[in-house]
Amino acid sequence: AAAAMAEGEELVSVDYEVSGKVQGVFFRKYTQGEAKRLGLVGWVQNTSHGTVQGQIQGPTARVRELQEWLRKTGSPQSRISRAEFSNEKAIKVLEHKDFQILK
């Protein structure tokens, strides 16, 4: 029998939106860098109402790490007031090739 993937290795997709002082402080660039460091795919973009939103996909344990980073860390100049996550679901394959900054 094929070995099951280790706990935390199944793939998940989750949407996020981060509020606070998160635009004009290189938040997207740092998010992309952190996602790539963790081997995650997805995207990040500024919204018209002053937040940053996007989607993260990858192994559950790594996705949790980026969620924690989005909640607490962000870019050096940012001030995060809230990070909300939604539409979490298990996926069979990654739907993005890399982690992009969308305009």
User: Phi and psi (nearest 5°) for 49?
Assistant: -105, 25
Q: In which order are the strands placed within the sheet that holds 41-46?
A: 79-90, 11-21, 52-59, 41-46, 99-101
Residue of 46, 64, 79, 87 marked catalytic: 46
Q: Are 41 and 58 in contact (CB under 8 A)?
A: yes
Q: In this structure, are residues 45 and 53 in contact, taking their beta carbons and an 8 Å threshold?
A: yes
Active site residue 71: no
Tokens of 98: 């890399």
Torsional sign, CA 66, 28, 96, 19: positive
Q: Residues with catalytic annotation?
A: 28, 46
